A = this chain, B = another copy of it.
Amino acid sequence: MTAFIGVDWGTTNLRAWRIDGHGKIQDTVELPHGVSQLSPGEAPVLFERQVHRPLGSDLPVLMCGMVGSNLGWRAIDYVACPADRSTLAAGVASVRARPPIRIVPGLRCAGIKAASDIMRGEETQILGWIETASTHARGRHIICLPGTHSKWAIVRDGAVERFVTAMTGELFHVLRTHSILAAGTSGFDAAAFAAGVDAAGDGGGLSIRIFSARTRQVADGAAPAETASYLSGLLIGSEIASISSLLDCSAADPITLIAAPVLRERYASALAQRSWSSVWMDGVEAAVAGLQALVRQGVLHDA
């Protein structure tokens, strides 16, 4: 395999790795500089100075994430589902010739009702998971990538067949920061989290159920410090309860969580409380594995 620089450049941060010809990570750069903070035209300049030069400016680069949106380096067309390694590789776009700098396309599919659904970055993590075991490339699997905008995907025979997005992390953030539920600290309380997961019920009536985060404090004597944990459980529980009808899956399907450790623990706990089993792959490992798989497919070679 070619030595290269792999990059996951998302909305709020950037991670880059220099990967040698044997697929080993030799060096890492992490910046708290996501595409939402870029001014127009800033991406190439910032990348050259803070990532490419420090990691090796003669190396080719493969990027994934929101860097391929109109907020990032350049908007790269989404690839339609179902999409596997070959489909993704065919959609990789070049933004600089020498050394090559290329960007993995996002995915789109039919979402709820008439709307589409979209992802940028998670497709590379899912591909990374598919590549880690031959069993992952066969049969049907449910993948959950929790986050600001959680993605739930059905993978069938090595291709992303369909997915939906839940704005769970963003809802939590805006409600905790700007709403009547903003009171109290954010320390984690496992019992309040479990009570929130339970209060999610069948996932219906979320706008009604979240008011209970207020009343249990104002009318039922719960400590304000519990509110964040309860709300987190309620939102994650609601996401899990709703997914079966919206994605055609059930508790009989073990869930693969691709996540950082903190979110993995919360989702695994909420899934277990609702009798779903889960396995886990680290989100960074998945991104690196996905980028490597595409490089092995030849996306950094000239056409």
**A-side interface residues toward B, CB under 8 Å?**
78, 108, 111-118, 149, 164-168, 170-171, 174-175, 177-180, 195, 198-199, 201-212, 215-216, 218-220, 235, 238-239, 241-243, 245-246
- Judging by beta carbons under 8 Å apart, are A211 and B113 in contact? no
Contacts of A218 in B (CB 8 A): 118
Cβ-defined partner of A215 (8 Å) among B117, B175, B179, B212: B117
Q: Which of A112, A205, A245 neighbours the largest number of chain B CB atoms within 10 Å of its CB?
A: A205
Contacts of A220 in B (CB 8 A): 114-116
Cβ-defined partner of A207 (8 Å) among B111, B113, B212, B235: B235
- Judging by beta carbons under 8 Å apart, are A112 and B167 in contact? no
Q: Residue of B at shortest CB range from A151? A: B211
Number of copies of this protein chain within its complex: 2
Bound: A215/B201 CA distance, A: 27
How far, in Å, is A69 (CB) from chain B's closest CB? Answer: 8
- Residue pairs across A and B with Cβ atoms less than 8 A apart, 22 shown, are A111-B211, A112-B212, A113-B212, A114-B220, A115-B212, A117-B219, A118-B215, A149-B180, A166-B211, A167-B180, A168-B207, A170-B180, A174-B174, A203-B204, A204-B204, A204-B242, A204-B246, A205-B245, A206-B207, A207-B238, A208-B242, A208-B243
- Judging by beta carbons under 8 Å apart, are A149 and B211 in contact? yes
Bound: A141/B199 CA distance, A: 27
Contacts of A179 in B (CB 8 A): 167, 170, 174
Bound: A287/B198 CA distance, A: 37
Q: Residue of B at shortest CB range from A205? A: B242
Q: Which of A167, A180, A219 neighbours the largest number of chain B CB atoms within 10 Å of its CB?
A: A167
